[in-house]
Amino acid sequence: MKADAGAITIRPVTEADLPMLARWLAREHVRQWWGDVDTQIGRLRAKLDGRDSTRPFIFELEGVPAGYVQYSFFDDNKAPAQLAETPWLDLLPKGAVGIDLFIAEAGSLSKGLGSAVVRLMAEMLWQKGHRLILIDPHATNTRAVRAYEKAGFHPVDDLQGRTDNYLIMRFDPALSQQRGS
């Protein structure tokens, strides 16, 4: 079954969502790309407490929680410690906003849900006035790269080969409209 963008809603994460998110983060298809559950829950707590400017959300399909999506401000992630760990962040243009997501159920992968969610989030950010919307999948995560291309993202050519194992992709609303129809 293909995801219907009209059936997808996005709501802010609450403290009550943390046990569910911990279960999702422990699943192999999520842990492979997101890493340690406790580390990620700690980061989510920082977001909820306002110690991190990243905005976390749960996306629901027909009212049922189906995954996690967030957007972050890359300019807020350029502290010396972060740049030491991820130096390519300094290559990103000022004002860039990034999207990250995961789908909770492995059985929901490759069904259009990821494309629909990332397109919806990118369009929401565009409507808020953000014009530089990026996503940075691991270059070997071909499933994610395909999903993001379907959502209207394309590789940023001048960053290819300069961002470790990540492929930086930029949202183009014209591509989103072409591919979303």
Tens digits of residue pLDDT in 106-151: 889 889 999 999 999 999 999 999 999 999 998 888 989 999 999 9
CB contact burial 136-154 (16+ within 10 A = b; e otherwise): bbebebeebbebbebbbbe
pTM confidence score: 0.87
Residue 63 DSSP label: T
Domain architecture of the chain: domains with CATH: 5-180 (3.40.630.30)
What's CA 172's distance to the chain center, in Å?
A: 16
What's CA 104's distance to the chain center, in Å?
A: 13
pLDDT greater than 50 at residue 2: no
